[in-house]
Amino acid sequence: MARDSEDPNTDVQYHLEVGPDDVADTVLLPGNPDRLETIVADWDDHEIRAHHREYRTATGSYEGTPISVTSTGIGGPSAAIALEELARVGVETFIRVGSCGAIQPEIAVGDLVITTGAVRQEGTSDEYVREDYPAAADYEVVSALVAAAERLGYDYHTGVTMSADSFYAGQGRPGFDGFEAAGSDDLVADLEAANVKNIEMEASAILTLASLYGLRAGAVCTVYANRKTGEFRTEGESRAAETATLATHLLVRMDAVKREAGVVRWHAGLSLE
């Protein structure tokens, strides 16, 4: 296995153990390695290409569109490693597929949240760029995710996500033995007042790195809990996976229409019909 070449962009990558021939141009990024099975269930075919630590990768096709999935584990640091190494082997588009907690009372458990931008409460992206640099989703990816959710008939919301490094203290939950971090009492209320839709742990790092590298990225999460209403159910796990898979297919069609029209970006004057 080549790991110490002068050109790491063409090698099998150190953590993911994938090379350029192992992945498609678009990769879905769930956190949980076990969620890979849920994602590939809707594909026409798939093959496991690598499994090392928390990183599990499969590649296949959906409606004739090549597609891959790589699990990232929990949090920004491991998600950033996945994006770095996938970018080095040629991946151009990334879609985070996960679960989240909603913080707006009208968002129901089982709904989807499609991220348009993210509050960078995680620390990984701070290692790359100044803290006031925005974590913005690529609008083509957002458009494809919205179109996919509409076609599938799933209830969805678009807006700003907050990404944290901590599941407990960083999200306003008590730690061991009732420990409370400074400001945790007001965290969820402050985010709600700012019209933030949901909390999760990977989106802002993925979006920030993709923007820095000129790549496309977005995120879609199924709501497992609503922090305002107290509801919690692991309901609709497959909805985010189905939406991201269909969005990948739509992005390929969008890119083909752009090439035919001689434009470089998708816009309202183009049609997939």
Compute the average pLDDT of residues 134-146: 98
Q: Is the pTM of this model over 0.85?
A: yes
* Structure letter (DSSP) for residue 107: P
Whether the per-residue pLDDT at 118 is higher than 50: the answer is yes
Whether 249 is catalytic is: no
Compute the average pLDDT of residues 207-229: 96
Q: Which of 227, 239, 242, 249 is catalytic?
A: 227
Residue 96, classed as helix, strand or coil, is: strand
Cα of first residue to Cα of last residue in the chain, in angstroms, is 45
CA distances from 136 to 76, 107, 205 (A): 15, 22, 10
Query: Which pLDDT score is estimated for 5?
Result: 45
Whether 173 is catalytic is: yes
Residue 94, classed as helix, strand or coil, is: strand
Compute the distance between CA of residue 168 and CA of residue 160 in angstroms, rounded to an integer. 20
What mean pLDDT, rounded, does the chain reach? Answer: 94
| The token pair that represents 186 in the structure block | 């007001």
Whether the per-residue pLDDT at 1 is higher than 90: the answer is no
Strand partners, 70: 57
**Region for residue 24 given its phi and psi (left: phi exceeds 0; alpha: psi -120 to 50; beta: otherwise):** beta
Whether 85 is catalytic is: yes
- Cβ-count burial of 178 within 10 angstroms (0-12 exposed, 13-18 middle, 19+ buried)? exposed
Which band of pLDDT confidence, cut at 50, 70 and 90, is reported for residue 252? Answer: very high
| The token pair that represents 272 in the structure block | 């997939």
Q: Which of 51, 63, 173, 253 is catalytic?
A: 173
Question: Which residue reads 């969008």 in tokens?
Answer: 254
Q: What is the pLDDT of residues 33-63, one digit of tens each?
A: 999 999 999 999 999 999 999 999 999 999 9
Count the Cβ atoms, other than its own, within 10 Å of residue 257: 14
Whether the per-residue pLDDT at 166 is higher than 70: the answer is yes
CB-based contact 175:168 (threshold 8 Å): yes
What domains lie within the chain, and their CATH numbers? 8-259 (3.40.50.1580)
Q: Which of 17, 54, 85, 122 is catalytic?
A: 85
Query: Which pLDDT score is estimated for 231?
Result: 86
Residue 187, classed as helix, strand or coil, is: helix
Query: Which pLDDT score is estimated for 198?
Result: 98
